[in-house]
Amino acid sequence: MSSRRNFRVWRGDRAGGEFSNYAIEVDEGMVVLDAIHRIQAEQAADLAVRWNCKAGKCGSCSVEINGKPKLSCMTRMNSFAPDATISVQPLKAFPVIKDLVSDVSWNYEQNKKIPPFKPRARGADGKHRMLQRDVDRVQEFRKCIECYLCQNVCHILRDHDKKNSFVGPRFMIRLASLEMHPLDSADRLPAIKGEFGSGLCNITRCCTEVCPEHINITDNGIIPLKERVVDRFYDPLLWLACKFFSANRRS
Amino acid sequence: MADISEIQTIEHDVVVIGAGGAGLRAAIECSERGKNTGLVCKSLLGKAHTVMAEGGMAAALANVDHRDHWKVHFRDTMRGGKFLNQWRMAELHAQQAPDRTNELEEWGAVFDRTPNGLISQRNFGGHRYPRLAHVGDRTGLEMIRTLQDYGIHQGFQVHMECTALNLLQDGGRIAGVLAYWRESGRFVIFKAKAVILATGGGGKAWRVTSNSWEYTGDGLAMAYLAGAELMDMEFVQFHPTGMVWPPSVRGTLVTEGVRGDGGVLLNKNNERFMFNYIPERFADETADSEQEANRWLEGDRSARRPPELLTRDVVARAIVAEVQAGRGSPHGGVFLDIASRRPAEFIKKKLPSMYHQFKELAEVDITSQPMEVGPTVHYFMGGIRVDAETQSSTLPGLFACGECAAGLHGANRLGGNSLSDLLVFGRLAGLGAADYVDKLKSMPQIDSDQASQGIKQATDVLNRQTGKNPYLIHEDLQEMMSKQVGIVRQEEDLKQALKELERIHKDVAEVKAHGASQYNPGWHEALDLRNLMIVAEATARACLERQESRGAHTRLDYPGERDEGVSFNVIVRKSERGMEVCREQRSAPPAELERIAHLSIEALEAEVDQEARNA
């Protein structure tokens, strides 16, 4: 059961580009990435697209399909009307390299700034012990496949281009996965408030909506981090206590 | 010839090619040993094929069943590999896997837990006890992300979206690697004292495969062309359970964890057919009735394991036999059912990505419907021949680890032994390369002729006026290999395969990539063809040479294992006359290891128990 379908695919590079039209045969069960591959094999051999696993596990094939950020390997062709033209373009929040491939290296730079995991000592028998209920929420964050769709829709990064002040939702949940790790003993809260910019997130939940792993980024990750920052830095009683004890130490 | 003085050169002590579990672990070890290390990856960091591993990593931690011990893990591995494994590698692997698992936890991995807070372990095919440390069915993601997030602070340099083309040599030893940047299409020479290959297998030579586009046998081909030996190339694992419908996802992996957690295989008559395919070697340790198999699932330790958890070679062949006998599912597979065995909540918790994958790609709800599955090319047991202790290949300065190295798995790999393989031998390769660099007396020099020749070969593909379409050549090769070098082989087909490879070779010689060199997938595809062709030919020739059926290698014209089959490995190397294949006699196994491998499970359990009492 194949049918002829129309595509508009953005072609170009840093210097600029435009949409090109392609019509191809689409078979039952195909996803948008299959269609892109068919265009490549039959009509545009040098059409650039990034992909790896084709099973929603690696997060390489992120693009914008009809304006919505998606994994192209998990977007089925039968989710569109049979006569609809499907437009595919690269992620908007990052610079384009070529065609559908964008330069996501900024994300790798952010990750490197995050202070690494620092485990507490092992038990007397040489083993670490953690209960499943205590790791459930960390495991939710660790499902992240680094597709950067959340980074792409974050207003702070996309519309306001505040890439120097906010690490974005992906790295807020990476920070949350470290801060809530039962074995971790490092303190990242000053950095979360400072250079990572937790205060900039205004909780519109756009990141949570596009997450292909259904991670509750805002409610389970970012908001608890914001609360921890508030408790530490804006709690008046704690603030007084700190003043008092540090004054004591000085004397 | 191109002038190489214009080419960017980057110098390292050690260059690691491939950034999956093995490559990352090797790079971490080299940095730890103070070596200036570069990690070259074909994709972005964190996207390598390890990310797709689902079920878990095997290690005799004995957290779930206290009877587990490295000796039992070793025995399981040897029996699963039909005794063709390199004995010492199987020993090192079983002994060191627990330390590597704990180390991963120390670096931040969050495995699923037992009720008392230890790393939980699940059942898997061929493993006597629950042995696989896991995170739901996304263990590979946990492993690669942990290594990545730990690794970026260890001081090695990561070169992303950079494809290695050729190994460079100086007087019979490694001098570096020629590569190209995908983004710019420009060439780069990595000058290095040692190179570690961690490039995975070559499943993309077949049409139905669980492998991603990266799996084009680059490391195998580069090593072969540089004069290193390949071994055991006839052993290509067909994973029994890949998706079969819809066509666009045919081959995508369905984790063995489904069966480990209770899933059963059914034919169209709703029969649990695996009871009819229990090999004699495993009969004593396998349940012979549904009743017993069900008791095992309920946790009865006196019950034997269900036949769905036999080794992958056995299960894959059984599925093919059922389909051929006309008892298959509508789309040419069989049914895998967990819906009637486990509650929906359990399935969603333990197999979340399977639930997701079937729901989104096949519109099947696995908590209420059976899956349709069939065999898919999954893993190369064979690869670059290495020394067990150092992972050194037969070419000085060249090391290999992970799937691209041969030896640990013999004729068939057990599920879960791959992830532990990556860490155990990734580390040993790092140590081996660091030692080699320490002992090196003089810095190897880059031979500009070798480099410029490699550049010319690569650019010819772009520069010729007209030529063949690389995508269509690749499809042609995949169709041919699926047909002639499939799960069941015979001489006639294999000889036909060699003939067809000659035909395809002529097309490859005329391949043309259109467009410029910047981020050009057509050019990349054209360059991959050389490697795929070498892998395909090596596999076909090794299959012809092994005249018996053992593990993953099934010959219709030579049924059953032959006694002499365990006495040799098939070696493939480059010669002046082309590809050369020979049998190499195996040395006698260490007496103690041979004793352990052949002990009955009862005797071994008693021995391990006694050891624990004495300790």
pLDDT of residue B2: 60
- d(Cα B237, Cα B376) in Å, to the nearest integer? 8
What tokens does B244 get? 């079969």
> Nearest C-alpha of chain A: how many angstroms from B114?
7
Among B51, B257, B108, B146, which Cα is nearest to A135's? Answer: B108
Residues B229-287 pLDDT 10s: 999 999 999 999 999 999 889 999 999 999 999 999 999 999 999 999 999 989 999 99
Interval B18-25 mean pLDDT: 98
What tokens does B524 get? 């990349």
- d(Cα A4, Cα A1) in Å, to the nearest integer? 10
Decide: B9 and B188 in contact? Cβ < 8 Å: yes
Range B240-375 has CATH code 3.60.20.10: no
What tokens does B283 get? 């009969």
| Candidate from B52, B105, B361 with C-beta closest to A53 | B52
Q: Which residue of A has its CA nearest to B472?
A: A41
Residues B26-76 pLDDT 10s: 999 999 999 999 999 999 999 999 999 989 999 999 999 999 999 999 999
Per-residue b or e along B236-255, where b marks 16 or more CB atoms closer than 10 Å to that residue's CB: bbbbbbbbbbbebbbbbbbb
Interval B195-208 mean pLDDT: 97
Residues of B in contact with A58 (CB under 8 A): 46-47, 51-52, 212
pLDDT of residue A246: 62
Is-catalytic flag, B505? no
Residues of A (114-133) whose Cβ lies below 8 Å from B: 116-117, 119, 126-132
Residues of B in contact with A132 (CB under 8 A): 112-113, 115
Residue recorded with tokens 């908007």: A92
Q: How confident is the model at residue A210 (pLDDT cuts 50, 70, 90)?
A: very high
Residues of A in contact with B112 (CB under 8 A): 132, 139
Residue A64 touches partner B, C-beta closer than 8 Å: no
Residues A77-111 pLDDT 10s: 999 999 999 999 999 999 999 999 999 999 999 99
What tokens does B613 get? 């009492």
Decide: B257 and B122 in contact? Cβ < 8 Å: yes
DSSP summary character for residue B546: -
Residue A17 touches partner B, C-beta closer than 8 Å: no
Residue A23 touches partner B, C-beta closer than 8 Å: no
- d(Cα B58, Cα B304) in Å, to the nearest integer? 20
Whether B108 sits inside 8 A of A181 (CB atoms) is: yes
Decide: B470 and B525 in contact? Cβ < 8 Å: yes
Per-residue b or e along B445-468, where b marks 16 or more CB atoms closer than 10 Å to that residue's CB: ebbbebbbebbeebbebbeeeebb
Residue A136 touches partner B, C-beta closer than 8 Å: no
Interval B172-185 mean pLDDT: 97
Alpha carbon A248 to its chain's center: 45
Residues B331-377 pLDDT 10s: 999 999 999 999 999 999 999 989 999 999 999 999 999 999 999 99
Q: Given the residues B122, B138, B239, B489, select the one marked as catalytic.
A: B239
pLDDT of residue B130: 96
Whether B152 sits inside 8 A of A74 (CB atoms) is: no
> Nearest C-alpha of chain A: how many angstroms from B66?
15
Whether B361 sits inside 8 A of A127 (CB atoms) is: no
Alpha carbon B256 to its chain's center: 15
Interval A121-133 mean pLDDT: 94
Q: Where in chain B is the domain with CATH 1.20.58.100?
A: 449-585
pLDDT of residue A249: 54
pLDDT of residue A236: 74
Q: Which residue of A has its CA nearest to B213?
A: A52
Of the residues A57, A130, A184, the best mutation for testing chain B's interface (the one with the most B CB atoms within 10 Å of its CB) is: A57
Residues B543-561 pLDDT 10s: 999 999 999 999 999 999 9
Decide: B433 and B229 in contact? Cβ < 8 Å: no
> Nearest C-alpha of chain A: how many angstroms from B83?
33
What tokens does B72 get? 């039992």
| Candidate from B145, B252, B516 with C-beta closest to A55 | B252
Interval B406-432 mean pLDDT: 98
> Nearest C-alpha of chain B: how many angstroms from A249?
35
What tokens does B352 get? 């979340």
- d(Cα B310, Cα B274) in Å, to the nearest integer? 9
Decide: B449 and B1 in contact? Cβ < 8 Å: yes
Is-catalytic flag, B259? yes
Q: Given the residues B100, B259, B312, B317, select the one marked as catalytic.
A: B259
Q: What are phi and psi of B267, to 5 degrees?
A: -95, -175
> Nearest C-alpha of chain A: how many angstroms from B202?
14
Whether B353 sits inside 8 A of A97 (CB atoms) is: no
Residue A207 has pLDDT above 80, yes or no: yes
Q: Where in chain B is the domain with CATH 3.90.700.10?
A: 240-375
pLDDT of residue A237: 74
| Candidate from B183, B214, B475 with C-beta closest to A97 | B183
Interval B475-483 mean pLDDT: 97
- d(Cα A5, Cα A23) in Å, to the nearest integer? 6
Decide: B561 and B548 in contact? Cβ < 8 Å: yes
In chain A, the domains with their CATH numbers are 3-102 (3.10.20.30), 105-237 (1.10.1060.10)
| Candidate from B51, B138, B247 with C-beta closest to A27 | B247
pLDDT of residue A251: 40
Residue recorded with tokens 């580009």: A17
> Nearest C-alpha of chain B: how many angstroms from A50?
9
Q: Quick one: CATH architecture of B449-585?
A: Up-down Bundle (1.20)
Residues B112-167 pLDDT 10s: 999 999 999 999 999 999 999 999 999 999 999 999 999 999 999 999 999 999 99
Q: How confident is the model at residue B401 (pLDDT cuts 50, 70, 90)?
A: very high
**pTM exceeds 0.80, yes or no:** yes
pLDDT of residue A160: 86
Residue B439 has pLDDT above 80, yes or no: yes
Residues of A (199-238) whose Cβ lies below 8 Å from B: none
- d(Cα B573, Cα B589) in Å, to the nearest integer? 25
Between the CA of residue B521 and those of B456, B504, B513, what are the distances in Å?
A: 19, 20, 9
Decide: B224 and B538 in contact? Cβ < 8 Å: yes
What tokens does B474 get? 């690749």
Whether B141 sits inside 8 A of A46 (CB atoms) is: no
pLDDT of residue A75: 96
Residues A147-196 pLDDT 10s: 999 999 999 999 888 888 999 999 999 999 999 999 999 999 999 999 99
Whether A53 sits inside 8 A of B519 (CB atoms) is: no
